[in-house]
Amino acid sequence: MRIETQKYNDILVVQLQGEFTAEAVRSFDDAASGAFASRVSGIVLDMSKVVQLDSKALEQLVALNEQCRDRMRQLKLAGLDETCTKILEVTRLLPQFDTYGELTEAVKSFA
């Protein structure tokens, strides 16, 4: 999986591309740690180019969401495709996340 980060004021956008699986967890953790180190008030995960989620990825999303809440920050997911949305629905995790159809909507929601 390819991970790129971009900062908009005090919001960090993490763009994920490819398969979000156990092999990508370490890289994802590094990006999340960087977000907390940079003291952002919110994180948006751009999931528009994620083609697969496995159980380890779901664990990481839940863990990051909890870390954000513990640190008084917000996590938002943007651009989930139909497959990823269905995975989150079936696992009953979807209601735990703030989701947006487009990246720009998610970033603007912090205003």
Residue extents of the structural domains in the chain: 2-106
Fold that domain 2-106 belongs to in CATH: Transcription Regulator spoIIAA (3.30.750)
Tokens of 38: 């940079």
Q: Closest Cα partner for 2 from 10, 11, 19, 13?
A: 19
Of the candidates 71, 81, 73, the one whose C-alpha atom is nearest the C-alpha of residue 46 is 81
Q: Give the pLDDT of the chain (111 residues) as one tens digit per residue.
A: 999 999 888 899 999 999 999 988 888 888 888 777 777 889 999 999 999 999 999 999 999 999 999 989 999 999 999 999 999 999 999 999 999 999 999 999 987
Task: Evaluate whether 59 touches 38 at the Cβ level (below 8 Å).
Answer: no
